[in-house]
A and B are shown apart, each in its own frame.
Chain A
Amino acid sequence: MDMFLNIFVAAVLAGTPLLFGTVGEIINEKVGHLNLGVEGMMSIGACAGFMAGYVTDNFIIAIIASFVAAALASLIYAVLTVTFMANQNVTGLTLTIFGIGLSNFIGIYMLGKSETGTLKLPENITAQMRDIHIPMLSDIPIIGKMFFSYNPFVYMGIIIAIAMGFYLYKTRLGLNLRAIGENPAAADAAGIKVTKLKYINLIIGGGICGIGGAYCSMIINGGVWISNNVGGLGWIAVALVIFASWKPVNAIWGSFIFGALRVLKYYIPKTVFPFPNAFYDMLPFLITAIVLVITSIKQSKENNIPESCGINYFREER
């Protein structure tokens, strides 16, 4: 029981950055843009969040900085693909390479300026990021530990996922946005401002990815800056979008399952399963492949990739 509880908590913690990345990418794909720059946007968010926190010692400012920086990165992507009709895959990959590079560059620059040779978040902000203790709820045995004793990122991620699910599937704006991802020509003819909505949602999606990046730099390594702190999580998020069948609410449990797969290697003794760690690192992708096979057999149109995802829209093209 104890072991299960530990795995559960570790899975939630490991899944949270994935949750942000996945929800952000879902918004992007739902508006018709396959943005492969998740890793880059997360890296930029990681850097901006950490540095803002390091300088200001304020958690809220750090989060806002990570959101804004990644949203700006996504704006580059939006300008290139929406306005200049650049190839989405190439642009996304470029954004990834650029984001990781920029993040590491600023990190090394800041390290050089620091007197101790390391970058560690100051005390005030570390305290703000500690696990939240909710009176009564957190004290319930087991349940309290399972659900009510996480750091603020975890709750923020779940709230954002639910809010985005509501936005996509229950509001008029969400309906318009999904219409663009499915058939931009139809949306255009129906009087929806395609370009404007694409920009807005690409920026929102990018910003959400950035908060996930801030989690990587500020929480995972205990508040100490290291390079490449996102470490491929952005790519897993891209796979998770498929796993979640493009629904933000599915992304919640999906990312926690993927989180569990990532921490399993620490909990399953090598004497039981004599597999190397690389085996566990491979599992998320193996499962994504299986999910892809299952969904393509099911042929359900609703749970599939938006029809125009990956294709730029040009009104006068015939």
Chain B
Amino acid sequence: MDNENTVKYAIECKGITKTFGSVVANDNIELTVKYGEILALLGENGSGKTTLMNMLSGIYHQDKGTIYIGGEEANINSPVDAMSLGIGMIHQHFKLVEVFSAGDNIILGTEKKKMKPKALKEEIRNISKNLGLEIDPDKKIYNMSVSEKQTVEILKVIYRGAKILILDEPTAVLTPQETEKLFALLRKMKEQGCAIIIITHKLNEVMAISDRVTILRKGKSIDTVNTSETNEKHLTELMVGRPVSLEIERNEVENKEKILKIVDLTVMKGDGTKALDDISFNIKTGEILGVAGVAGSGQKELCETIAGLMPAKQGAILYKKENIIGKSPSEIIKLGISMSFVPEDRLGMGLVASMGMVDNMLLKSYKDKKGFFVDRKPARELAKKLKDKLKVVTPSIDTPVRLMSGGNVQKVLLGREIESNPNLLITAYPVRGLDINSSYTIYDLLNEQKEKGVAVIFIGEDLDVLLELSDRIMVLCHGKITGIVDARKTTKEEIGILMTGGTIGEEEEND
């Protein structure tokens, strides 16, 4: 390796092993990245990607194995060490202080010589200009869009002189156009000689941006392949360990009838701005209506208003021709409207983290029984049934759900909602953070419901999935509907334009 003729790697991991208690998160991992190269790191949930990256960025320390940075053995014990070695990590959830300006966030914690604020701003402007970025150093983070925040994160690590960038699922929250912009930036940085590691679940992005792909499975590095010599199917096989079909079955259901009609609905947010602005749409039985939009475009408010958790200011929600505005959540549940909202932290709404599966089942059904005491028997049976049917991995049905992995928590939540036999199922981000296998279990569940004649509102993030799963796609932008399109005919680009408030030629259907 010390031979001058061999390539000097930016990062070389040799035999990295990390265990948490009895769980082996990383097992003898080998990984290399050169300067001027983009490496994609691919793997299912729990395959050890984040653990590995956390070791590179100094949050954990490996039990065994050596990390070489720029050809030299490195001992990374803290984020400061990682930074001084030129490693910068861009986390999935931004590590920014909301009330600070972009400039303050960028200089935060650095020990560079104190500069006058004016000179500092000039330097930040220069760095961003070199990369073709636009950023106002005085703008407060809370006034920024998601992609602007990401730009600040990237500038932050570049300001610290990072030559090795690690991005953890950077595209999860971006529109297709913003993703393109990010990729252009990454390519530019690659040309300037940076080494980049990108973690993503999306195979098409891996194909588009990376030079090489390293695949992790169950904590082991399975293989490293050149992107130009592989394809999505092959990558999936490597990742899952067996051939999988990437097709989502989408059948057309006969005899649709309108079940929910929303007319001129306006909902206000707590701070007095409009969360939903005069929207109208309808949904039929046996149909999946996908809802696309940048995070915070009114998706949450839409769910909560239909479920009766938020008051509407104007308009009507007609469920089987009856206006349900003003009804209490429990009355709405009785009508057969069921909501499973998976928030970013997965547990916030719907499940109680410290309760086991059984008690979480009870939350929805305890009212059906009369009497003073709680009868756990039916709930216990239901929990057992769900555990078997959805292959929920948990030590026991009484184990607190917070100890279960994200995918299993989501299965429990969705399973419980489906078991109440709803006529309308609202589900928001049900596959958030899930790997391919678990995601497809959830898609199958939703399709099964649709075929049973349930109307499904599916609020999603991944446009590819929305396009494959939904029958129609409704696009929200700043609380307005910018278009309702046929999922079989539209394209990703079209939806991307609608998401940012643009219009397309197609007329939306009139009702």
Contact = CB atoms under 8 A, between A and B. Distances in A.
Interface of A: 172, 175-176, 178-179, 182-183, 185-192, 299, 301-302, 304, 307, 315-316
A176 B109 contact: yes
A190 B108 contact: yes
B91 A179 contact: no
Interface string B54-85: 00000110000000000000000011100100
Nearest to A171: B114
A285 B142 CA distance: 31
A267 to B, nearest CB: 40
Interface in B102-150: 104-105, 107-110, 114, 140, 142
A299 B97 contact: no
Contacts of B80: 191
Given A190-B156, A191-B80, A185 B95 contact: yes
A172 B80 CA distance: 17
Contact of B108 (A179, A185, A301, A315): A179
Interface of B: 59-60, 78-80, 83, 89, 91, 94-100, 104-105, 107-110, 114, 140, 142, 156, 271
B89 A189 contact: yes
Contact of A182 (B98, B156, B271): B98
Nearest to B271: A299
Given A175-B108, A179-B108, A301-B142, A189 B98 contact: no
Contacts of A316: 59-60
A313 to B, nearest CB: 13
A187 B99 contact: no
Given A183-B95, A188-B79, A301-B98, 17 more contacts: A172-B107, A175-B104, A179-B97, A179-B108, A182-B98, A182-B99, A186-B105, A186-B108, A187-B97, A189-B79, A190-B110, A190-B156, A191-B109, A299-B271, A301-B99, A301-B140, A315-B59
Contacts of B97: 178-179, 182-183, 186-187
A172 B108 CA distance: 8
Q: Which 10 pairs, one residue from A and one from B, show the smallest C-beta to C-beta distance?
A: A190-B109, A186-B95, A189-B95, A192-B109, A191-B109, A191-B80, A190-B108, A182-B97, A301-B99, A183-B97
Main secondary structure of the interface of B (DSSP, over half): loop
A191 B83 contact: yes
Contact of B109 (A179, A182, A315): A179
A176 B110 CA distance: 9
Given A172-B114, A299-B271, A301-B142, A192 B108 contact: yes
B142 A176 contact: no
Among B59, B60, B96, B156, the most chain A Cβ lie within 10 Å of the Cβ of B96
14 contacts: A178-B97, A182-B97, A183-B97, A186-B105, A186-B108, A187-B97, A188-B79, A189-B95, A190-B109, A191-B78, A191-B79, A301-B98, A304-B99, A316-B59
A183 B142 CA distance: 13
A104 B60 CA distance: 48
A178 to B, nearest CB: 8
A188 B98 CA distance: 15
A176 B96 CA distance: 12
A178 B100 CA distance: 9
A172 B114 CA distance: 8
A188 B58 CA distance: 11
Contacts of B104: 175
A111 B351 CA distance: 59
